[in-house]
Amino acid sequence: MRPVALAIALLVSLPLTPARSQIAAAAPEQQAGAIVEALRSEGIPIGTLIVYTADTDPNRLFNHPLGYVAKAAFEDTRLAHPGVTRVNPDDGGIVEVFARQDQAADRIERLDKLLVAEPAFDEWLYHAGPIVLRLSRRLSAEQATAYAEALQRLYLSADVASAQEPFTTDSIPLGERTKTTDCESQDGLPDSACTPGAVDPRVTQDTIATTICAPGYTRTVRPSTGITDRIKREQYAAYGLQGLALAATELDHLIPLELGGAPADGANLWPELYEQAWGARVKDRVENRLHDLVCAGQLSLADAQTAIATDWKAAYMQYVGGAGPQSVAPEESDDEVQSGDAPAPTDPGPAVLAPVPQDQPAASGNCSPSYPDFCIPPPPPDLNCNSPVLAGRKNFTVLPPDPHRFDADHDGVGCERR
């Protein structure tokens, strides 16, 4: 089935309401506009609408390998400026339709990374099947939730379209969850009474080859942002983080999905700060290392799950090694201190390295945080898309400031294969 046909099939996989019928009847490039009109029919106060085409899209992502098949921007009349005819997404939002659900999930992941790396980029993000809904942060949480709920009423029977069948809400806790309020995180570790960890019962030692060790597995079980946004707000309240920007934390699985963690159980999720020595990006390294050991048959799944749930920092020291994240020399960037001005020893931001695959040693002993998918050293020297260190990799995530200028069109994707 052609990708565009697949996108249409996903959109009409549920019983057709009049609104869904209108969307299904629309030409592929018009589907995003039809979705916005359907949201308007649900009572959302939508004003001016612009439907983009491959010729008018400023991001040039139509029919790109990582791009969408339809896109529309709209204004919310509560935010619109009187007398201004140009639609500014900050006055409303954007709908993007992708050929496949996993492409929409990838788009959400890239946008989430931009939210962390670029403070000026701040949006409410929702994902339903092959649809990405991006909303201005000028909308309140209640107003943004109304959009998400309207989208769910239009398209969802469970949480996401039926094609996301592998998603499950079943889980097995690793310990008793005795608290849901007054939770306290200690130096990167969650409160074990609130977040003891939980696992997905479908992932066992006997099934790892077809689950966590299969390429692309986590995409099939990762819950939509409609679910994770709700859980994150609940966990912010539980951990007393009201008033802290949502982008300052990662809603982290204590037992990660790549080790069979429960996808949407509050016992396995907590808001983990980025900007601390033992922060979310540091935990990513031990998660990847344990996953590699389990899939190589060098560590049992149960031992890996217990190690990371009991004390992920101790697991880091045992399986990643070194003296911890502060032992890594910080990198310089345009926004950091210049050579000769040493940062304070507890400065956590630049001390975090991206995960280094086992077959990709870091040429200079460190990795630029602009390229989180694999290790690329910062300049000098300047690299390009044909440099041997990339080993032919294409279409990888790029975050600002992109010191090697791999992302020429500033869409968050480096060395794009067109």
| Averaged pLDDT for residues 267-278 | 88
The structural domains of the chain, ordered by start, are 3-155 (3.40.1000), 172-326 (no CATH), 353-418 (no CATH)
Whether 183 has a pLDDT exceeding 90, the answer reads yes
Residue 405 C-alpha from the chain's centroid = 23
Cα–Cα dist 403/407, whole Å:
10
Angle among Cα 105, 325, 110 to the nearest 5 degrees reads 15
Taking CA atoms, 73 is separated from 52, 83, 92, in Å, by: 8, 18, 8
pLDDT of residue 165: 36
pLDDT of residue 405: 81
- Assign 222 a pLDDT band (cuts: 50, 70, 90): confident
Q: Over the stretch 125-134, which tens digit does the pLDDT of each residue have?
A: 887 778 899 9
Q: Over the stretch 82-117, which tens digit does the pLDDT of each residue have?
A: 655 566 777 899 999 988 777 887 888 788 777 766
Cα–Cα dist 351/336, whole Å:
12
The pTM of the whole model exceeds 0.75: no
More confident position, 198 or 401: 198
* Rounded percentage of the chain residues whose pLDDT exceeds 70: 73
Among 16-30, 79-93, 97-111, 246-260, whose mean pLDDT is lowest? 16-30
Beta bridge partners of 94: 73, 134
More confident position, 238 or 215: 238
Cα–Cα dist 403/292, whole Å:
29
For residue 409, what are its two tokens? 């069109």
In the block, tokens 């694999």 appear at 374
Mean per-residue pLDDT of the chain = 75
Q: Over the stretch 330-369, which tens digit does the pLDDT of each residue have?
A: 222 222 222 222 222 232 222 222 333 333 333 334 778 7
pLDDT of residue 229: 76
